[in-house]
């Protein structure tokens, strides 16, 4: 699906205007910062795991970027919640692109 799909455009716009899980986790189990040097977007994701350290219990993100990057972080944060760490380790860029339903370019 391209960016022309109205359903995906509406979903991206909704996540951009009403980001889910925006904010920081105090003392997260781990943090990842992603930067796009070609456009300057930066996203930080904080993750807390359950007591066993096997399942994502909470995800929060902060950042500065375009509508697509902020919506992507919001959508990804929803998908990660409740995910096993093994599933997280297996995620790649194609998985995120598929979740968004749009083609992402640098």
Q: What is the pLDDT of residues 38-58, one digit of tens each?
A: 999 999 999 999 999 999 999
pLDDT of residue 96: 75
Does the domain made of 6-100 have the CATH classification 3.90.1010.10? Answer: yes
Is residue 35 predicted with pLDDT exceeding 90? yes
- For the entire predicted model, the pTM comes to 0.83
Q: Residue ranges of the alpha helices (H) in the chain?
A: 6-17, 67-80, 85-90, 93-100
Sheet of strand 56-64: strand arrangement: 30-35, 42-49, 56-64
pLDDT at residue 81 tops 50: yes
pLDDT attached to residue 58? 98
pLDDT tens per residue, range 4-32: 578 778 888 999 999 999 999 999 999 99
The domain limits of the chain are 6-100
């Amino acid at each position: 699906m391209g960016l022309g799909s109205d359903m995906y455009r509406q979903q991206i716009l909704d996540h951009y205007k009403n980001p889910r899980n925006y904010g920081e986790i105090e003392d997260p189990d781990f943090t990842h910062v992603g930067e796009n040097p070609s456009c300057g977007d930066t996203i930080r994701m904080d993750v807390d795991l359950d007591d066993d350290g096997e399942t994502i219990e909470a995800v929060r993100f902060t950042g500065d970027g375009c509508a697509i990057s902020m919506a992507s972080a919001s959508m990804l944060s929803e998908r990660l919640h409740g995910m096993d760490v093994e599933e997280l380790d297996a995620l790649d860029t194609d998985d995120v692109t598929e979740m968004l339903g749009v083609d992402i370019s640098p």
